[in-house]
Chains A and B, each alone.
Chain A
Amino acid sequence: MDAYDDAGGLEEPPAPEPDAPSGAGIASLSLPYQVVAAVALAVVGVLACAHLAMVFLHVAPSNTLTKRHGEAVDDWVYPEFEQNWKLFAPNPLQQNVSVQVRAQVAPADGSRRTTGWIDLSAQDAEAIRGSLVPSHTEQNELRRAWDFYLNSHTDDHRPNGLRGTLSESYLRRIVMLRLEGQRLGGTVERIQLRQTVRAVPAPPWSTERTDAAPAHRELPWWRVGPADLPGAAQENRTEEAR
């Protein structure tokens, strides 16, 4: 354990000398109790090693073992020990992705009107600027919901399974919550989202050239249902209860 000490810097109160009876530890127990303690030591050792091996395989790149036993690793790690430490790796994100929305609004006079693009990510950035402790609602909510949408959809906007459909209604609910504060002059009937990607220009000292033109990607128009409005879940439930 001396090596451990040097490594971890965990000096202990002077450890009892090996053969001196100390009133604690496995040495002070009688044989039957010692057997229990030894079994416990083995169990703890095996569990710790197994856990670390599983977590290691989880964070390691796909390899011989994970190709063969990937399911066992996933079963062990998900959902409570999931982890992703590829922070800014292998490369940091080199583009600003902003999520924008426009809405089809029905004013009281029966006409239809389409708003201009509203940049929700720019609102987030505005809120973050000058903030010592940005909120998860500003820094993560929309940004990660958008990633969630992209990861759970095919390139032609088809959802893959449950996560895909959930991500769509999650986005709709976030957007409707955001639009609530904007005066759009009527009921929002449909919304359309798009992402605008702008590459971060290469550093001034670099000879690389970056394409500065923003790239857009539009999603289809979505109809807004009562379930997409803020607070809708509560009302639905109270109706069900009646």
Chain B
Amino acid sequence: MNAPSASPDPGRHVQHVRRVRREDGREPLDRRLGRAVQRVTASALGPYQTAIVRIGVSLTWLLFLLRELPHRHELYGPDGPWSWEMGRQLIADNDAFTALMWSDGRLWFEIVYALAVLSAALLLLGWRTRAVSVVFMVGVLSLQNRSVFVGDGGDNVLHLLAIYLVLTRCGQVWSLDARRAAREARAAAHGEARDEANEDAHGLPPRRDVVGPLLWTVLGGFLLAATAFADVTGSVWLVVLLWVLWLGQALWWLVCRFTPGEPRTLLDVLANLAHNGALVVMMAEVCLIYATAGWYKIQGSRWQDGTALYYPLHLDYFTPWPALSDLLASSGVMVMVLTYGTVLVQVAFPFALFNRRVKNVLLVAMMLEHAGIAVLLGLPLFSLAMISADAVFLPTAFLVWLGARVGRGRDRLLSRLLPRRYGGRVPEQRRTGGENTPRTLVG
């Protein structure tokens, strides 16, 4: 942890500990291994990184669904060019997961589309994150697998990340869940203080959660339907995963209520393990994306002679702004620099992970390139999906800073829009925003 530390005390402490260890030789392997095991079981790593991926992915999908709202019937509807019956024949062959095969009715299609929109919005906000992330995944898979021939690389990234996100605890920060948890912790602390002050007075009983069990019951109904329609839902392992998640939620609730202590700690450990495993897979997935894209390009003659970029800028399907494309393509040197730069960055990225500074430079380069692709090639949602995936590698210090900036901006906006309601309360608002963010070495 060699990041510049804003709060010097814990930082100095860690440095001190490390120096002591270095003096009496290298820490033995088993100790280090033990520490690593403790770490991956005790905490869900990368809370900010998984949260930003969650926000990016759900935002991309939400924007996509809203953009295609007028075209939803043509793309995914039962009477679109890729008709329900054609979809059924292909899915019977490739066994992909979709809830849209349960019925060929227009109403069911509208319900699924509406649920996909709703789940994307709720995942963005981090409301009941785990349950909503499952609904989100079902929405993504249902629509994309229904019409596989209208998607592109952006859909592919969303498809994969939607599945991986289900296994992560991606609502630890920047979510309504985190805000609720902070509020409950505050209320509990408040209650304890009062109990100490006055032995007779009972603290308020913890608020009964009605929404959670209700949501669980409703989702259970859908799960029963998925099981009843198992022969047309596809991907049996996914239905099994849904059952495991659903029963896991019930177990979590029961354990929290009746046997807190060791069983609860164990469940916490299991959830952390799943989260950390999924996080590693997501990071490796991004590396695989760039490695594949880069290494295959090296073999191409156009990438070798430095003209590759010139060609997409002249494809009718990818030139929304021909004048802009022509301008960029007019300079041979510029085209070559960007062509070589693209390959270099993509090939180098996985190896750059071994050096923090190089990694950050390449990350910025890739995000800028995707921003360029968004406009130049007319692929904004593909680019947003890729940037969301890249975000898993953003440094915590930057994300914390970004979160604080956004929080302040939001407060200022709210106090300007609703001066009566928020005018006098801005400092408090700011504080509640800050409480969502657990202290870190850099925060």
Contact = CB atoms under 8 A, between A and B. Distances in A.
Interface stretch (B119-127, B204-212, B313-321): B313-321
Contacts, number: 315
A213 interface: no
B150 A89 contact: no
Contacts of A169: 86
Contact of B300 (A9, A89, A98): A89
A197 to B, nearest CB: 12
A78 B96 CA distance: 8
B353 A25 contact: no
A134 B97 contact: no
Given A29-B266, A80-B159, A137 B277 contact: no
Interface stretch (B188-196, B247-255, B394-402, B404-412): B394-402
Contacts of A11: 1, 3, 395-397, 440-442
A35 B392 CA distance: 31
Interface of B is mostly: helix
A29 B37 CA distance: 13
Nearest to B105: A237
A45 B156 CA distance: 25
A14 B83 CA distance: 55
A92 B311 contact: yes
A116 interface: no
A20 to B, nearest CB: 10
Given A41-B273, A45-B277, A200-B314, A231 B79 contact: yes
Interface residues of B, number: 127
Interface in B262-285: 262-263, 265-266, 268-270, 272-274, 276-278, 280-281, 283-285
A2 B22 CA distance: 14
A121 B43 CA distance: 52
Given A135-B71, A148-B149, A85 B274 contact: no
B42 A25 contact: yes
A59 B292 contact: yes
Nearest to A200: B314
Contacts of B397: 9, 11
Interface string A219-242: 000000000001111100100000
Interface in B289-306: 289-290, 292-293, 296-297, 299-303
A91 B38 contact: no
Interface residues of A, number: 101
B41 interface: yes
A93 B315 contact: yes
Given A80-B159, A91-B302, A162 B293 contact: no
B150 A8 contact: no
B160 A44 contact: no
A26 B106 CA distance: 51
Contacts of B316: 96, 98, 121-122, 124-125, 128
Interface string A137-168: 10111011100100000000000001100100
A51 B277 CA distance: 11
A109 to B, nearest CB: 31
Interface in A113-141: 121-122, 124-125, 128-137, 139-141
A215 interface: no
B84 interface: yes
Contacts of B81: 141, 145, 170, 173-174, 177, 230
Given A82-B156, A94-B302, 13 more contacts: A9-B396, A9-B397, A11-B442, A15-B39, A33-B265, A41-B37, A41-B40, A48-B280, A89-B300, A144-B152, A173-B81, A173-B82, A177-B81
16 contacts: A8-B392, A12-B441, A25-B269, A33-B262, A79-B145, A79-B235, A88-B308, A91-B302, A94-B311, A98-B316, A130-B321, A133-B381, A136-B150, A203-B310, A233-B79, A233-B84
Interface of B: 1-3, 10, 13-14, 17, 31, 34-43, 45-46, 49, 63, 67-68, 71, 74-75, 78-79, 81-86, 89-90, 93-97, 104, 106, 141, 145, 149-153, 156, 159-160, 163, 234-235, 238, 262-263, 265-266, 268-270, 272-274, 276-278, 280-281, 283-285, 288-290, 292-293, 296-297, 299-303, 307-312, 314-317, 319-322, 329, 332, 335, 353-356, 359-360, 375, 378-381, 392-397, 438-442
